[in-house]
């Protein structure tokens, strides 16, 4: 069975102000890597646009209305100091979410064993009622709920190794015992949430914060001691990865020191979990990663490992 790659050129048209780290060159860098001959076995598909009904699985009507009508005819419309929309943003946002949903459909129907969704903007900071931190709709969360509704998935897990805490995903699933959310992230750092004592209403939120300067050893320890045992006990029937690569040592937004070997390792660990309880089903959704060389190396490691599944 194959690994599916989901992307769409319209995701380049979400423009951000000059100097903004979340820029379309990120996807160009990924395209270049995954265009290499050794990735020719990937099945490639274009991300469809999500419907607003799909978005409503995780977001309030107020938030959907805000995004739906906010894109400017020219220039930028600011949602907050870091988060803005350009004329092409709405389509990119909907394809980013729709790509995650399409990837979930593919692994749930058996069309693919696992999938990587190389779209932007990212999603894990988007809360039920609040877009923030470069994020508009929570792609990973929506794909998770979609899979539960459409395919009757009882237990799903979202594992987030982006260097920032996925406050949005935690917010959406805080009181939902059917979804486990696990995160490693640098703390303190934006957005400020993610302490180990934030556990959700049903103890299904698993936060393993790391400190500035931490590298491979501490990252792997957090997985081996905290996250992997909890995932094994939970036995998810579907595993979603919020795949941010900004914990790479080259990344300008944070101070962890991971490299390609760490992303290879964590991907393999998560594939072992998925093999044990989820029939190997993994949907990996791009979140952060802002140094183009670090991002390229990390995505190479991550997708190469997914393809071995
Ligand atoms: Zn991040």
- Predicted confidence band of residue 266 (pLDDT cuts 50, 70, 90): very high
CA distances from 108 to 28, 286, 288, 295, 308 (A): 28, 19, 25, 28, 19
pLDDT for the residue numbered 301: 98
Ligand 1 centre to CA of 109 (Å) is: 30
Residue 78 CA, ligand 1 centroid: distance in Å: 19
Residue with tokens 């129907």: 109
At residue 215, the pLDDT reads 98
DSSP per-residue string spanning 217-274? HHHHHHIIIIIHHHHHHH--SEEEEEE--TTBTT-TT---BB-HHHHHHHHHHHHHHH
How many A from CA of 187 to the centre of ligand 1?
A: 12
Q: What is the pLDDT of residue 1?
A: 74
At residue 124, the pLDDT reads 99
pLDDT for the residue numbered 132: 98
C-alpha 251 to ligand 1 mean position (Å): 10
Question: Angle at which helices 292-307 and 260-277 pack, to 10 degrees?
Answer: 30
What value does the mean pLDDT of the chain take?
Answer: 98
Please tell me the number of Cα atoms within 13 Å of 266 on its side-chain side: 31
What span, in angstroms and rounded, lies between the C-alpha atoms of 81 and 202?
34
pLDDT attached to residue 309: 74
> Which tens digits make up the pLDDT trace of 11-36?
999 999 999 999 999 999 999 999 99
Indicate whether 246 pLDDT > 90: yes
Cross-strand partners of 157: 180, 239
Q: What pLDDT, on the 0 to 100 scale, is given for residue 281?
A: 98
Give the confidence band of 306 by pLDDT, cuts at 50, 70, 90.
very high
Q: How much is the average pLDDT of 244-264? A: 98
Cis peptide before 121 (omega within 30 of 0): yes
pLDDT tops 90 at residue 142: yes
Averaged pLDDT for residues 156-173: 99
- How many angstroms separate the CA atoms of 206 and 153, rounded? 20
Catalytic (active-site) positions:
125
- 272-286: average pLDDT: 98
Q: What is the pLDDT of residue 44?
A: 98
pLDDT range class, residue 48, cuts 50, 70, 90: very high
Taking the centre of ligand 1 as the mean of its atom positions, its distance from the CA of residue 303, in whole angstroms, is: 19
**CA pair distance 104, 147, nearest whole angstrom:** 6
CA 1 – ligand 1 centroid, Å: 31
The answer to whether the CB of 159 falls within 8 A of the CB of 179 is no
Residue 309 C-alpha to ligand 1 middle, in angstroms?
Answer: 26
Q: How far is the CA of 289 from the centre of ligand 1 (A)?
A: 7
Q: Is the peptide bond before 188 cis (omega within 30 degrees of 0)?
A: yes
DSSP reduced 3-state for 150: helix
Q: Is the pLDDT of residue 153 over 90?
A: yes
Nearest partner of 71 among 57, 55, 83, 89, judged by Cα: 89
Q: Which two tokens stand for residue 248?
A: 């790479």
pLDDT > 90 fraction of the chain, expressed in percent and rounded:
99
On whether the pTM is more than 0.85, the answer is yes
Q: What was the pLDDT predicted at 218?
A: 98
Residue 277 main-chain phi, psi, to 5 deg:
-130, -10
């Amino acid at each position: 069975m194959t690994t599916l790659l989901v992307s769409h050129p319209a995701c380049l048209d979400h423009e951000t102000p000059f100097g903004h780290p979340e820029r379309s060159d990120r996807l160009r860098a990924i395209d270049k890597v995954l265009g290499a001959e050794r990735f020719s076995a990937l099945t490639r598909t274009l991300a469809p646009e999500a419907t607003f009904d799909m978005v409503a699985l995780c977001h309030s009507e107020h938030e959907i209305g805000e995004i739906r009508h906010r894109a400017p005819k020219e220039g930028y419309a600011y949602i907050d100091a870091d988060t803005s929309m350009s004329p092409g943003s709405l389509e990119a946002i909907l394809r980013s979410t729709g790509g995650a949903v399409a990837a979930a459909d593919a692994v749930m129907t058996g069309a693919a064993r696992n999938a990587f969704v190389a779209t932007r903007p990212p999603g894990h900071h988007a809360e039920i009622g609040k877009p923030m931190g470069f994020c508009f709709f929570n792609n990973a969360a929506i794909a998770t709920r979609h899979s539960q509704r459409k395919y009757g998935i009882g237990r799903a897990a979202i594992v987030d190794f982006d260097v920032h805490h996925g406050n949005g995903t935690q917010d959406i699933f805080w009181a939902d015992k059917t979804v486990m959310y696990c995160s490693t992230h640098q703390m303190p750092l934006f957005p400020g949430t993610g302490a180990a004592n934030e556990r959700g209403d049903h103890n299904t939120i698993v936060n393993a914060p790391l400190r500035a300067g931490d590298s491979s050893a501490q990252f792997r320890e957090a997985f081996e001691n905290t996250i992997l045992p909890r995932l094994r006990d939970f036995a998810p029937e579907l595993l979603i990865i919020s795949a941010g690569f900004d914990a790479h040592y080259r990344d300008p937004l944070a101070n962890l020191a991971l490299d390609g070997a760490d992303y290879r390792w964590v991907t393999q660990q998560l594939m072992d979990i998925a093999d044990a309880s989820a029939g190997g089903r993994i949907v990996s959704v791009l979140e952060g990663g802002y140094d183009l060389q670090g991002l390229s190396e990390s995505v190479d490691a991550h997708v190469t490992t997914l393809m071995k599944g």
